């Protein structure tokens, strides 16, 4: 069997996977975490691993459970990393284990579900019942090649999920992530063109335009060509795009469904009713005599929904459709990224992409950069260190710290999509000293949760620690705890702080080595959390979602802190970092 080193010559994701310092400590779980993060388009691997990894003797075959309430997405994954890389097939029994995970998470009486995954089961069931969870993904990630045996087992998983009344109405995806698929996802993250076929595009008239580092051709493309390309290559056709085809569900207002109906019912009008597509290619040759444009390589960077909808209409209607097409050849990947960004404004893929050129984001990026801190306000292909600050994550935390818990946990996209909300969370006066203070609190939360998980696995937890972990196991608990810290900011700082944004760190505390500041925050959390969980007004599931209950917890905790001076003494380390107000 080839080694990982040998396979790295062919599969380019292996070196960044094995060289990632965030994943190094997760051993055999590193590959499934890496693969699932790619599949879900998640940049912050550190937080993702802390929140989602459930691999444990009582995980009931669910190694990873990712619940994103704000986006309505859940992913349950089983992982397998063999010592020998590149086997012809991964064990099919590991794929069938997802049936076990589905049964425990979705249908076993909740009181019988192990504590390790009970909170996830509650969240998943509640979200499906209330239709706030609209997409459910079950995945098997491994370091072998994809195989028919595994696919057959995954079909039974798909059948089970679709048969459950609770899941009815949700978009179900069951996927095998082996070497080839992980490589395709990795190349997609780099903006690479995966489909390298030579394609002949007939056209009676072609407009030709050139620019620095690019050439463009504009023509009318017959829908049959799009249909056949998608039929052959599926979502690989969109490898350089920000999104794949999203489907054409028959729901009110679904744009893709309307595109498909246009292709079926009014194909002769499609050219004027649709905005068309943009394709990036590696090479293009114009044969004016034959009326052909011959291209080498295809990636639809704008028009994935049009392409998928034309395919969904069927080959017959597609033949009658004409689509406005712009074909672009480029010299480098950075130009591809710029084209992708400039051509995707209709549907937000990641809401924070829309603010990547905002003046506040650029200023914050520059000020952090001057102090050696990586602030990620727009996506790119580079892997990020664990000390990176991600705009979408910090947006939620800033929102929670300043008292808007509901937006932080239920509507994080609004932070970047709504001008009103964005201006509140990222005002012109926002300082990196405030951002770093709140981000350090988020890192401290992650560290505390990891500590409690380790204690749980060792079987050496006290009752009060079990209560703490039970609370932190809910994904919304991070924003809840930051909300509480915001409410207790004066007690924590030991000073009058009328405005939450006045909670800031000294300038010299902002640097890439965050250990001391995170350690100081960790002491604060370890002092507050036992007080907080000792007298909860409601069960944890309700608590972390309720502003009213969270405010009651702040009031109770504040009263205890006022009467116990020794607890406040643990805040001194953090107070030494807090700057002038």
Amino acid 335: pLDDT: 60
How far is Cα 459 from Cα 507, in angstroms, rounded to an integer? Answer: 42
Tokens 């094995």: give the residue.
18
Amino acid 242: pLDDT: 47
Domains and CATH numbers, the chain: 4-187 (3.40.91), 193-339 (no CATH), 352-575 (no CATH)
Amino acid 143: pLDDT: 95
How far is Cα 541 from Cα 91, in angstroms, rounded to an integer? Answer: 36
How far is Cα 263 from Cα 276, in angstroms, rounded to an integer? Answer: 13
Q: How many CB atoms lie within 10 A of CB 347?
A: 12
How many separate helices (H) and strands (E) can be counted in the chain? 28, 13
Q: Tokens at residue 552, please?
A: 């009651």
DSSP string, 330-375: ESSHHHHHHHHHHT--SS-SSGGGGGTT-HHHHHHHHHHHHTT--E
Amino acid 20: pLDDT: 87
The 3-state DSSP class for residue 300 equals strand
Amino acid 262: pLDDT: 87
Question: Each residue of 277-309: b (16+ CB within 10 Å) or e?
Answer: bbbbbeebebeeeeeebebebbbbbbbbbbbbb
Q: How many CB atoms lie within 10 A of CB 9?
A: 10
Amino acid 246: pLDDT: 43
Host H or E run for residue 40: helix 30-40
Question: Each residue of 140-169: b (16+ CB within 10 Å) or e?
Answer: bbbbbbbbeebbebbeebbebbeebeebee
Choose among 323, 310, 431, 443: nearest CA to 371: 431
How far is Cα 242 from Cα 9, in angstroms, rounded to an integer? Answer: 26
Amino acid 32: pLDDT: 96
Maximal CA-CA distance, the chain: 89
Choose among 337, 336, 354, 332: nearest CA to 345: 354
Consecutive sets of 10 residues in the chain, 581 residues long: mean pLDDT of each? 80 89 89 93 86 79 89 92 93 93 93 87 91 93 94 95 92 92 78 80 88 89 93 80 44 59 90 90 86 89 86 92 91 60 50 70 93 82 76 94 93 85 93 97 94 86 91 90 96 92 94 93 94 88 90 92 78 91 54
Amino acid 507: pLDDT: 92
- Output DSSP code: residue 168: T
């Amino acid at each position: 069997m080839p080694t990982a080193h040998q396979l790295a010559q062919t599969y380019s994701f292996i070196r960044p996977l094995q060289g990632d310092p965030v994943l190094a400590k997760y051993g055999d779980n590193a590959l499934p975490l890496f693969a699932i993060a790619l599949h879900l388009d998640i940049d912050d691997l550190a937080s993702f691993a802390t929140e989602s990894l459930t691999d444990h003797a009582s995980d009931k075959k669910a190694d990873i459970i990712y619940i994103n309430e704000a986006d309505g997405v859940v992913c349950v994954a089983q992982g397998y990393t063999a010592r020998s890389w590149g086997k012809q097939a991964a064990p099919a029994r590991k794929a069938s284990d997802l049936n076990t995970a589905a049964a425990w998470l979705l249908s076993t009486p909740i009181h019988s579900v192990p504590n390790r995954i009970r909170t996830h089961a509650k969240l998943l069931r509640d979200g499906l019942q209330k239709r706030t969870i609209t997409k459910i993904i079950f995945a098997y990630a491994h370091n072998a090649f994809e195989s028919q045996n595994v696919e057959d087992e995954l079909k039974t998983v798909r059948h089970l999920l679709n048969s459950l009344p609770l899941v009815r109405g949700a978009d179900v995806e069951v996927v095998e992530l082996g070497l080839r698929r992980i490589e395709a996802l990795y190349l997609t993250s780099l903006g690479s063109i995966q489909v390298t076929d030579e394609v002949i595009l007939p056209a009676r008239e072609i407009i030709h335009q050139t620019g620095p580092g690019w050439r463009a051709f504009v023509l009318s493309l017959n829908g049959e060509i799009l249909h056949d390309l998608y039929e052959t290559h599926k979502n690989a056709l969109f490898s350089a795009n920000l999104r794949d085809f999203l489907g054409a569900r028959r729901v009110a207002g679904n744009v893709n469904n309307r595109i498909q109906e246009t292709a079926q019912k009014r194909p002769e009008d499609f050219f004027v009713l649709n905005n068309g597509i943009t394709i990036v290619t590696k090479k293009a040759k114009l044969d004016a005599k034959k009326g052909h444009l011959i291209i080498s390589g295809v990636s639809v960077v704008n028009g994935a929904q049009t392409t998928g909808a034309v395919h969904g209409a069927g080959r017959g209607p597609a033949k009658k459709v004409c689509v406005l097409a712009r074909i672009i050849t480029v010299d480098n990947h950075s130009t591809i990224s710029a084209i992708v960004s400039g051509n995707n404004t209709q549907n937000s893929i990641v809401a924070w992409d829309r603010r990547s050129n905002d003046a506040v984001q650029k200023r914050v990026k520059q000020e952090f950069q001057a102090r050696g801190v990586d602030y990620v306000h727009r996506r790119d292909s580079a892997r990020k260190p664990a000390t990176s600050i991600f705009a979408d994550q910090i947006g939620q935390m800033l929102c929670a710290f300043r008292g808007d818990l509901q937006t932080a946990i239920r509507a994080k996209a609004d932070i970047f999509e709504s001008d009103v909300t964005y201006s509140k969370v990222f005002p012109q006066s926002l300082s990196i000293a405030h951002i770093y203070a709140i981000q350090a609190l988020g890192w401290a939360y992650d560290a505390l949760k990891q500590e409690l998980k380790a204690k749980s696995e060792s079987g050496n937890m006290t009752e009060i620690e079990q209560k703490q972990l039970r609370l932190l196991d809910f994904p919304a608990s991070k924003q809840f705890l930051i909300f509480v810290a915001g409410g207790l900011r004066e007690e924590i700082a030991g000073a009058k702080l009328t405005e939450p944004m006045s909670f800031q760190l000294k300038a010299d505390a902002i640097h890439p080595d965050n250990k001391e500041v995170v350690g100081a925050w960790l002491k604060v959390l370890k002092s507050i959390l036992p007080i907080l969980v000792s007298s909860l007004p409601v069960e944890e599931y309700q608590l972390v979602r309720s502003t009213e209950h969270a405010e009651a917890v702040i009031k109770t905790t504040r009263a205890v802190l006022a009467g116990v001076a020794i607890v406040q003494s643990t805040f001194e380390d953090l107070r030494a970092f807090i700057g002038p107000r």
